[in-house]
Every structure is written in structure tokens, then in C-alpha cells.
Amino acid sequence: MDIPRIVLSGVIGGVVAYLVVRALRRDAGGAADTEDLRYGPGMKVTALALLLIAGFIGYAALQARPNQRFIAFTLSALLLAGAGWFVLEAFFTRIRFGEDAIAVYSPWRRFRKVPYSAITGYRYSEANQWHVLETPDGNVRLSIYLRRIDRFGQLLGEKLGREGRLPNSEC
């Protein structure tokens, strides 16, 4: 196997992936009184590393013996799908919050703007490690790994806690 060719194709693929992600990323510009919740660089690096490992395992599955190909392809497809999900979540999820509302950008649902007055409840999922804001249009899930989640919890506690609408005023 020609190792330099493999390394070069990996580097080219990485550069192309970086350029695509950068081109698809939405502009962060917004009102001066808003703040963003996003995954930090550690989560993004972890997602890309997982994608790289999944790609390598997928490549190795292509080299499997004919009697082992079905299981190798199945496992590598599942791993690639999970890694793809992780990359989409880490790079394209963003929650913007300000004084009036929360704007939720996600690869899994359409853009939503949720006024604080529309939040009907709050709970914390210990198993999934996320905060859940209940609204009439569906739940907003906020991972504990989002940057500035503590600041958002303070703001939400101040806004909704004084109205008595949250069972627990601390997020």
C-alpha cells in the first residue's frame, strides 16, 4: 500500500471537510444584547477525531474477507452514522439568547424562536445530561456541554423564577 498517497488523500479530505463546514456555518452576527450557546473547541475536536477513526474503520472494513464483509460493513456504517451525527451536533447547533427570547438553530429541527413567556416548564435529564425547556411547540434540549450554559441558567432563573413558572429556578 502506498502510504504517502493515503496520507495525502486524508489531508485533502480534511481540508475539504474544513472548508465545507466553514462555508456552511451561519454568520454569528446578531444583536449586541444576545449571547450564544455553542459547543466548544474540545467537543468539535472530539467529533472530528471520532469521524476520522470511523473513516479509518470504514476503510478497514473494505479490506475484510468476503465472509466477514457483511458484519464489517454493518458495524462501520453504524459507527460512521454516529460520528456523522456527532459532527453535525457539534458544529451546527447554536442557541442564541437575549432579553426577550431564545433562538434555537439545530440540524435536527427547523429554526425556532421561543419567547420566554412560551416556556411552560423545565426539567433536567440526568441520563442524557441535558436541560429540557418545555414549550407548546416542543421541547428545547440544552446539553451541559454547551459553552455559557451557566450564564443562560442564571438568566432563565432570573426571568422565569420571579414569575414562579419553574419548579426549580436554577438551570
Picking from 132, 112, 114, 136, the residue whose alpha carbon sits closest to that of residue 122 is 132
Give per-residue pLDDT as tens, 37-89. 899 999 999 999 999 999 899 888 888 899 998 999 999 999 999 999 999 99
Residue with cell 434555537: 104
| Mean predicted confidence (pLDDT) in 87-102 | 89
Residue 117 has pLDDT above 70, yes or no: yes
Closest CA to 92 of 153, 3, 144, 20: 20
- Beta-sheet strand order (sheet of 101-105): 112-115, 101-105, 94-97, 35-39, 146-147
pLDDT at 18: 78
- Percent of the chain at pLDDT above 90? 27
Q: Where are the beta strands (DSSP E) in 50-137?
A: 94-97, 101-105, 112-115, 121-125, 130-135
**DSSP collapsed to 3 states, 14-37:** HHHHHHHHHHHCCCCCCCCCCEEE
Among 145, 132, 128, 129, which residue's Cα sits nearest to residue 102?
A: 132
**What CATH architecture is 94-161?**
Roll (2.30)
Which pLDDT tens digit goes with each residue over 130-140? 889 888 888 88
Mean pLDDT of 20-30: 57
Cell representation of residue 105:
438553530
Question: Residue 106 and residue 39: Cα distance in Å, rounded?
Answer: 12
